[in-house]
Amino acid sequence: MNAKNVNINPCHMCMPMGGVLAFKGIEKSVVVIHGSQGCSTYIRRHIAEHFNEPVDVGSTSLNEKGTVYGGEDNLKKGLENIIRVYNPKMIGVLTTCLAETIGEDIKRMTETFIKDTGLSHVQIIPVHTAGYSGSHSEGFFSSVRRILENTVIPSEPNGKIGLIIPNISPADIRELKRMMKLFSLPYVVLPDFSDSLDGVYQKQYLKLSPHGTKIKDIQTMSGLKAIIEFSATLQDDLSPGEYMKKEYGVPLYRIPLPVGLRFSDQLISVLREISGKKAPKMLLEERGRLLDAMIDAHKHNAQGKTLLYLEPEQLYATISLLEENGVGIVLAATGSEYSTIAKKEIRQKDRLFTGADFDLIFKEAEGQDIDFAIGNSDGRVLTEKRGIPLLRRGFPIHDRMGGGRILSVGYAGSIQLLDSITNMILDKKLTSYRQQMTEKLLEPLKNGAESRGESYGDKI
Partner 1 sequence: MAISKEKLDKMLEVYPSKVKKSRKSHIMIKDGCETQTIEANTRTVPGIITNRGCAFAGCKGVVLGPLKDMIHIVHGPVGCAFYTWGTRRNKAKTEDPAKNFLNYCVTTDMQESDIVFGGEKKLMNVIDDVMEEFNPAAITLTATCPIGLIGDDMGAVAKSAEEKYGVSVLHFNCEGYKGVSQSAGHHIANNVLVDKIIGQGEKEQADSKYAINLLGEYNIGGDGWEIERILNDIGYEVVSVMTGDGSYEDLKNAHVAELNLVQCHRSINYIAEMLETKYGIPWLKVNFIGIDATIETLRNMAMYFGEQDLIDQTEKIIAKELSEIEGKLEQYKKITQNKTSFCFVGGSRGHHYQGLFAELGIETVLAGYEFAHRDDYEGREVIPDIKIDADSKNIPDLKVEPDPDRFRLRIPEKLYEELKAKIPLSEYKGMNADMADGTVIVDDLNHYETEEFIKIFKPDIFASGIKDKYVVQKMGIPAKQLHSYDYSGPYAGFKGALNFAADVSMSFATPTWNFIAPPWKGEPLLDGKIEKGAE
Neighbouring residues of 33: CB distance < 8 A, sequence distance ≥ 6: 16, 20, 39, 40, 43, 57, 58, 59, 60, 94, 95, 96
Smallest distance from the beta carbon of 207 to partner 1, in angstroms?
7
Under rule CB under 8 A, which residues in 289-318 are in contact with partner 1?
A: none
Smallest distance from the beta carbon of 116 to partner 1, in angstroms?
15
Read off φ and ψ for residue 171, nearest 5 degrees.
-65, -40
Sign of the alpha-carbon dihedral angle for 15, 21, 25, 26: positive
Under rule CB under 8 A, which residues in 71-130 are in contact with partner 1?
A: 74-75, 77-82, 84-86, 96-98, 100-102, 130
Of the two residues 97 and 317, which places its CB atom closer to partner 1 in the complex?
97
Of the two residues 4 and 115, which places its CB atom closer to partner 1 in the complex?
4
Are 284 and 412 a contacting pair, CB within 8 Å?
Answer: no
- Please identify, among the stretches 10-18, 246-254, 311-319, 420-428, the one whose residues bind partner 1 according to the rule CB under 8 A: 10-18
Of the two residues 9 and 269, which places its CB atom closer to partner 1 in the complex?
9
Smallest distance from the beta carbon of 232 to partner 1, in angstroms?
24
| # chain residues binding partner 1, by CB under 8 A | 76
Cα–Cα distance, 171 to 406 (Å, whole number): 6
Of the two residues 75 and 267, which places its CB atom closer to partner 1 in the complex?
75
Under rule CB under 8 A, which residues in 161-220 are in contact with partner 1?
A: 199, 201-203, 205, 207
67 part of the interface to partner 1, by CB under 8 A: yes
Are 15 and 35 a contacting pair, CB within 8 Å?
Answer: no
Question: Of 21, 22, 24, which is closest to residue 209 (Cα–Cα)?
Answer: 24
DSSP 340-361: -GGGS--TTGGGEESS-BHHHH
Out of 19, 25, 66, 410, name the contact with partner 1 by CB under 8 A: 66
Smallest distance from the beta carbon of 223 to partner 1, in angstroms?
35
59 part of the interface to partner 1, by CB under 8 A: yes
Question: Of 412, 427, 420, which is closest to residue 284 (Cα–Cα)?
Answer: 412
327 part of the interface to partner 1, by CB under 8 A: no
Site string for partner 1, 359-398 (x = CB under 8 A): x------------------x--x--x--------------
308-347: burial string, b at 16+ Cβ within 10 Å, e else: bbbbbbbbbbbbbbbbbbebbbbbbbbbbebbebeebebe
Smallest distance from the beta carbon of 132 to partner 1, in angstroms?
4
Of the two residues 45 and 272, which places its CB atom closer to partner 1 in the complex?
45
Site string for partner 1, 13-42 (x = CB under 8 A): xx-xx--------------x--xxxxx-xx
> Residue 60, SS3?
coil
Which amino acid is located at 254 in the chain? R
